[in-house]
Chains A and B, each alone.
Chain A
Amino acid sequence: MTTSLVTAPPPADADPGAGNRAPKRRRAEPSDLPAGSKRRRFPTAPWLLLAPSIIILGVMVGYPLVRLAINSFQKYGKAQIFGAPPEWIGLDNYMSTLGDAEFWAVAGRSFGLAAVLVVLTMGIGILLAVMMTKLNKFFRLLMSVGLLLAWAMPPLSATIVWGWIVDTKYGLLNYVLNWLTQSDAFTGHSWLIDPMSFFAVLTVIITWQSIPFVAFVVYAGLTQVPEEVLEAAQLDGAGGPKRFFLIVMPYLKSILLVTTILQVIWDLRVFTQVYALQGMGGISSQTDVFGTYIYHLGNSNLGVAGAVSFIMVAMMLLISIYYVRKTVKEEEV
């Protein structure tokens, strides 16, 4: 009930935009109408403009995707890459993948990691965004710069630097912990050898880099919440938390939904950070997620790697379809 009441303003807010678009369309129509017969003519101009992106997408994404699909039904190893004719084996790659305990372990790890990452990123991101609205201009600028730098750093470089921080022998972290505890307990402590510890480090690295995006987007959304509504609620006696959860959050709902979906997708297909960190320590078979698992499979068996990729996409679709449908419904209201 409250939600529908409160969500009412955004359409009103969005209306001017829609109103702007509608007259344009209406203005365009009269000029087309007299031409009558020309109306059904092939819309050359839009297609010409679209052509380059369609061609590039087709070549860069479409063709590899088709090849991947074909490969996933074939026995496709190194000899086939160099020209030997592949052998069709039907659904064998899919069946062997689904019956492989390692695949399910990888799936569990990926979804677990993604869940933790999304919750942390969204939670901390929102908190930081709220903090930015409360800060004065100087500190807000300082924070924006800090967030931007984290966001702008290439994931590979970031992971390498973090890897040095947690290095077993010469890492800063062990040094500081030794100094804080005034002991030798952390000398030679490996942060990556234990899978749980590996994922803790990984979580820090990825969260650190994805928070800025959430913080900025949510901050932008927060500045759009009309002051008057908040003021009215305050006069009616709504306290801080109540105002935040009953007024601000509903305003941000669509923004939060979109960012959450994006985070789920990004966090499920994370590759760079895991791969780079595996190179610095740990046991790769215990720390593989979808991305690195497929990559490791792909160096000897493209067929199975393709099958795993499609199963992963199917799983991701199943999960995100709920959110996507929900967003679509929201937009229709």
Chain B
Amino acid sequence: MRKLSLAALGTVAVIALAGCAGSGGGSTSDSSAEVRVWLVGTDTPDAARDYLKKTFEKENPGSTLVIEEQQWTGLVDKYTTALSGSDAPDVVEIGNTQAAAFTSAGAFTDLTDKFDDLGGDDLLPGFVEAGTYDKKFFAAPYYSGARVVFYTPQIASAGVPTTLDEYVANGEAMHSADSTVSGIYAPGRDWYNVLPYVWENGGFVAEQDGDTWKAGFSSAGGIKGLTQMQTVYEKASAAPKDGDETNAQVPFCEGKVGYLSAPSWFAGSLATAADDPTAPGCPDTFGKDATAFALPGMTEGKAAAAFAGGSNIAIPTKAKHQDLAYDALKILVSPEYQKIMAENGLIPGLVSAASALPDDAVTKAAAEAAAASKLTPAAPKWADVEASNVLQDSFVKIAQGGDVDQIAKELDAKIEEILNS
């Protein structure tokens, strides 16, 4: 009797434990596996997603492919935990400036001997570099998006400026005419759009000097650029000083924005139907005649060096289905897939697919901007600088009217501390 109850107790305990631990794991054979692809943000158009899923499942009967959409915010943290765990996804998209953090840590499968199979010299060169570490190729180019300046003639009546100074002056004029209008929309946390001012004024972000990194926001050119940026924050922008760059279509569609610097795919946000439940645009009002130009540089007729955003794709070392993952990755950089990306205004990861880009003003401006674009420092720890929020914090302080010299010095010290640690 007593023994029986003990046995029963033990069983109950084991069942309880199993109930908590259950439903995990479960190994699947490679022939009928579920391949998980992590794409980030909403940039990848639906047509491309459908093509990826259909093509993969046709080529690999029995297997399924699921796309799990991730958020750009906090992506490095998320990948750090997800890619080092036992439940890693099979294919991941990663921001070009973040790739080095993972290629240098050995988080991605080495694709060096597959380089030619994936497209070889047809792969976008700057992004091949972003996905390469220590002469090994880890992450293939996915797409690139140069930043261009959007405007609607209804608000920005002055039209297209020819130099950066004129651009700022036009912005100031619009803001002083109506203080609720941002002549230049410049929320404090949008650090990507600070970089052109720094670069054009002769500053730099960080440069390698021997085996240490030196940050350049407090260099003479950096200070000049940040001071010009402060003018924009204070005299040309009505954007929240601690706001970020997301959902910029909201003020734009209200008719409260003169110039808005955003990646070229922002045109899609404006073209979204006005009654879209998640992120409505305004194709019938201020978005109707919206067009774009490449941010002008210091000298007339030359585009400014702007930050080139975009993504690479890679296979985590810990992905369970390496072979199937490679099949999926191959579809992602295939000419057919990249053409779909190009048709939607994204600069494709394959140079040859660029011919499919739409022939409109935004794309032309993007091509012009891309030709002059620059990347963030290729330091393995650069992603940590981005994740530490130190850039955003510093620019919010500048937007608030803080002392540029001091903020730039502190920012450089912090960047050097992270890059050289």
Interface residues of A (CB under 8 A from B): 44-45, 48-49, 51-52, 55-56, 77-79, 81-84, 168-169, 187-188, 190, 192-193, 279, 281-286, 296, 298-301
Chain A residue nearest to B238 (CB atoms) is: A188
* Residues B13 and A193 in contact, CB atoms below 8 Å apart: no
Q: Answer whether A193 and B400 are a contact pair too, CB < 8 Å, given A48-B6, A285-B393.
A: yes
18 CB contacts below 8 A, A to B, read A48-B9, A49-B13, A51-B13, A52-B13, A55-B17, A56-B17, A56-B20, A78-B80, A78-B102, A82-B84, A82-B317, A168-B242, A193-B241, A281-B240, A281-B243, A282-B242, A283-B242, A285-B389
Shortest distance between the CB of B212 and any CB in chain A (Å): 17
A190 to B392, CA, bound (A): 16
- Which B residues lie within 8 Å of A168 (CB)? 240-243
Are B16's CB and A52's CB within 8 A? yes
Contacts of A282 in B (CB 8 A): 242, 396
Q: Do A190 and B240 contact each other (CB < 8 Å), given the known contacts A55-B17, A82-B83, A300-B384?
A: yes
- Interface residue ranges of B1-56 to A (CB < 8 Å): 5-6, 9-10, 13-14, 16-17, 20
Give chain B residues whose Cβ lies under 8 Å from the Cβ of A44: 6
Closest chain B residue to A275, Cβ basis: B74
Contacts of A51 in B (CB 8 A): 13, 17
Contact B389 A296 (CB under 8 A): yes
Question: Nearest chain-B residue to A81 (Cβ)?
Answer: B84
B117 in the interface (beta carbon within 8 A): no
Residue count of chain B within 8 Å CB distance of chain A:
42
Q: Which of B103-111, B306-314, B324-332 contacts A (4 or more CB under 8 A)?
A: B103-111
Of the residues B10, B73, B101, B388, contact of A279 by C-beta under 8 Å: B73
Q: Which residues of A contact B6 (CB under 8 A)?
A: 44-45, 48
Which 3 A-B residue pairings sit nearest by Cβ, starting from the closest?
A: A168-B240, A300-B384, A281-B242
Residues of A within 8 A of B384 (CB): 78, 299-300
Cβ A300 vs Cβ B16 within 8 A:
no
CB within 8 Å for A296 and B240 given contacts A45-B9, A283-B396? no
Which residues of chain A have C-beta atoms less than 8 A from B392's C-beta? 284
Asked if B387 is at the interface of the complex by the 8 Å CB criterion, the answer is yes
Minimum C-beta distance from B404 to chain A (A): 16
Question: Please, what's the 1-or-0 string for B52-83, where 1 marks a CB less than 8 Å from any CB in chain A?
Answer: 00000000000000000000010011001001
* Complex interface: chain B residues within 8 A of A285 (CB): 389-390, 393
Question: Which of A55, A190, A300 meets B241, CB within 8 Å?
Answer: A190
